[in-house]
Structure 1
Amino acid sequence: MMKAASPLRRLLVIDDDHGIRYILGELLRWMGYEVSLAASGTDALTMLSDGLFDGVLLDLVMPGMSGKEVLHEIRTRGFTMPVIIISGYEALASDMLREGAQAFLVKPIDTVRLRDTLALHLG
């Protein structure tokens, strides 16, 4: 049984794949998080400037603006919330951690590892 996060934390999930975005959103809501979904880096940056988020889950390979570019823009704009990369490209993990991501989760995402990673970085 997964323990719900407390107090309610707001997460932004950024992934161009509708199915992954939807499933991740539902899973995170079930875990007790408040979740917003973005289909692109551009949409995500707009949402970040409009609202306060406690954390970001970010896909790397997306059309238009890549996850690496989104992460760079998040940090350049002074946002300090944890950014957790979700990607099938595990070889990019160390590079993304150097770029300012707090964690890297490999797709398909292990739900226990996701829960533990969020608990570690969101308190």
Structure 2
Amino acid sequence: MLPPRPEEQVVTPRRILIVDDDSGARECYGRLFRRHGYEPCLAPSGTWVESNLASLRDIQVILLDHRMPGLTGLQLLRRLRSSGFRAIALLISAHVSSEMSAEAGRLGISRIFHKPVESAALLMSVAEAFTQFQEGRPGDFSTGSP
């Protein structure tokens, strides 16, 4: 059997959901990922994500800020998981506690980044998260360095 011709190959967009109440950070992450071939979806809050969940079902990776008004990143992820949302999740926070790390591990957070986040480390972890998603593997929990 011959492989499909290039024009017949379907390329799945690498969609990443970025949830951050800080519009400057959200836009910066969006530009970074767009420049590297990802399709970012920018969300200003957990409430926005819940309201638009039907259009986000094909998201493969989610990057969450932890401290946001309304729902924290972990609260949002808990709700998403209970609704069947299977994206690989990464968390960003300026303040990481042992309790937060433990809860993140229980929720299957692939990695926690301490602010400020280095672009190269973030890009590498996101690439790994897409690979994990495509292979159907749960994330290996770790805490990222600044």
TM-score by length of 2: 0.74
What is the aligned partner in structure 1 of residue 86 from structure 2? 80
The C-alpha deviation readout for 1:39-95, integer Å capped at 9, x for no partner, is 110101233322321110001101111111101011101111101101112323343
Counting aligned pairs with the same residue, the percent is 33
Matched, 1:113 2:118: no
- State which drifts further: 13-22 or 85-94: 85-94
What amino acid maps onto 1:82 in structure 2? Answer: I
The answer for unaligned runs of 5 or more in structure 1 is 1-5
The structure 1 segments of at least 4 consecutive aligned residues displaced by more than 6 Å after TM superposition are: none
What is the aligned partner in structure 2 of residue 3 from structure 1? none
What is the aligned partner in structure 2 of residue 62 from structure 1? 68
How many residue pairs match? The answer is 118
The answer for unaligned runs of 5 or more in structure 2 is 1-10, 132-146
What amino acid maps onto 1:84 in structure 2? Answer: L
TM-score by length of 1: 0.87
The DSSP-based 3-state class of the residue aligned with 1:71 is helix
Please report the RMSD computed on the Cα atoms of aligned residues, expressed in angstroms. Answer: 1.6
